Amino acid sequence: MRLPVPDVLLPADQLGRVHFIGIGGAGLSAIARIMAKRGVPVTGSDNADTPFLPSLRELGVTCHLGYAVEHLGDADTVVVTTAARADNPEVLEAQRRGLRVLPRSAGLAAVMAGQRVLAVAGTHGKTSASSLLAAALLHAGADPAYAIGGLLSSTGLNADAGSDELFVAEADESDGAFLVYSPHAAIVTNIEADHLDQWGTEAAYRAAFTEFVGRIDADGLLVTWADSEATRELAETGRAAGLRVLTYGRSADADLGPADLGVDLLVPGEHNIMNALGALALGTALGFDADALRAGLATYAGTARRMELKGTVGGVRVYDSYAHHQTEIAGDLQAARSVAGSGRVIAAFQPHLVSRTRALGALMGEALGAADEVVVLDVYLAREDADPDVTGRLVADAVPLPADRVHFEPDFDAVPAELVRRARPGDVILTLGAGSITQLAAPVLALLEARDA
């Protein structure tokens, strides 16, 4: 559901009682936690009991399961997830009452008000890069507020209120949210066409990042990847606007390269080396000790759903990842290959959104060819309706592997057994996707245990 951003954005302490519709999601739960920690009366509802809700309940936040009119209580303001349907009863009741109804972006802007915002944007890597930045700053003695898209390993939280002026924010471009913020500094990890249901064309998508850079403080800082044409152009845009610009990557003219990282990371993959360099560049530019930042990066053990090790049974390691775009798939499969050693990589992929699968499904299938065995699920619909012409088979048919090594499985409950049937000791099973596929790690591990009993 797309909601307009008000012309005047109020700080959180002026919103009265705030109710979150979709409080179980990564974005809204982060905002709700920060508001609650700062003394704002908060309630919420969701149709699922997600991993983000226990820490909210510990703060005394009432989190209803299911949507019903009575859940609004005496709320003054309602913050709504983009995944909400227009016929959601709580949305309809809030509109009927004439309550202040805000999209997620306005809710995040409310808790960032008055702080020095460090925004992390980009097509891929936002959650990992913002998590690395938060972990590095915390280790270097800062106490920033942060709102990120996953659970930070060092704290077990996806958000906290902090005690100093800094605010680390994952800035999402999928619905244009990042154009609501006015950061002091920003990291842009990369730019590659995505979310064309929102932007229409790749040119419009790239133009949005140019507009985002234009929202950085005049005396602020842009940190961006040096190794792509799109981000190099963005760096030039920042310099032309008078911003201080730092770049990182493997290009010879990058300000920071892998040798500057100086530590071994606990998280695998080239993409995490790049994300860590971006965090190091921004942290040092803010005046923090480089060695302290490096030490923080070295202790970072990952974020939930970003190449997260879920368990090992019988020599088979099971990882889960949020990757839902072909570049993310390729990066995570490269990381999986690095940890598999002589073992094989067995990938299960759930396409996310009909519109994305229609536009990019063939490219996703090509990327999955880097695995040894592939199981493709049907499309996770999220906020869209099904299209019988756009299914997971579109992805499976594009995987460049022999037919016996690729399987399209539309029955969600049958996937764990299919993965276990293909796995042998030494292999890595990697579940990929932004939807319900994250639920499969537990039954996969249980079946592995039963097989080895």
> Of 82, 93, 126, 328, which one is the catalytic site residue?
126
> Of 90, 93, 170, 308, which one is the catalytic site residue?
170
* Nearest alpha carbon to residue 360 among 189, 197, 121: 197
Cα dihedral 394/398/404/405 (nearest 10): -110
Side by side, the strands of the sheet bearing 77-80 are 62-65, 42-46, 18-21, 77-80, 100-103
Q: What is the DSSP string of 338-407?
A: HHHTTS-EEEEE--B-HHHHHHHHHHHHHHHTTSSEEEE-PPB-TTS---TT-SHHHHHTT--S-GGGEE
Q: Is 212 left (phi over 0), alpha (psi -120 to 50) or beta?
A: alpha
> Of 77, 81, 82, 127, which one is the catalytic site residue?
127
| Alpha-carbon gap, residue 236 to 38, rounded angstroms | 39
Q: Is 201 among the catalytic positions?
A: no
* Nearest alpha carbon to residue 257 among 270, 269, 266, 244: 270
Alpha helices (H) along 113-153:
126-139
Q: Is 45 left (phi over 0), alpha (psi -120 to 50) or beta?
A: beta
| Alpha-carbon gap, residue 234 to 244, rounded angstroms | 12
| Alpha-carbon gap, residue 425 to 344, rounded angstroms | 9
Q: Is 127 among the catalytic positions?
A: yes
Q: At what angle do helices 290-299 and 126-139 cross, to 10 degrees?
A: 120
Q: Is 58 among the catalytic positions?
A: no
| Alpha-carbon gap, residue 412 to 52, rounded angstroms | 24
Residue 353, amino acid: L
Q: Which residue has the tokens 């009991």?
A: 49
45-71: string of b/e by CB count within 10 Å (b at 16+)?
bbeeebbbbebbeeeebebbeebeeeb
- Secondary structure element (H or E) that encloses residue 109, with its range: helix 104-112
Query: Among all residues, which ones are annotated catalytic?
Result: 126-127, 170
